[in-house]
Chain A
Amino acid sequence: MTLLSRINELFKKELKVVNIGITGFRDDLKSLKVPVIHVEFRPPAGGNTKLLSILKKLK
């Protein structure tokens, strides 16, 4: 299996979507009966940008 064919494999599969962000996009997909799961996103590190950049550096 070549790496590239992962995109072509997707073309032959049913899309199963995880929606992270705008709820409206989830609603549109639902209205089309597309399987979709919505993540209740919360800004990491309590939204503290300083802490976030420190955490990023630690990774």
Chain B
Amino acid sequence: MLLSASEEDVLAAAEALGEELAAMESDASPAEFQTVLLQCNEAISEETGVQYGDVCGAGGSC
């Protein structure tokens, strides 16, 4: 288990996730890939208790 990860650690983990998603995109249909993105966002929101899409601006002008 990680102990007190730094901001750099978090961004590195985000980059690794982005790389896997990019690799997967070529195997998936646009609809499948969109579903995976939604599932990732929901998982992050559930884990953190913060609505990821909303705080990152995907919720529009709310």
The answer to whether A and B interact is no
A contact set with B: CB distance below 8 Å: none
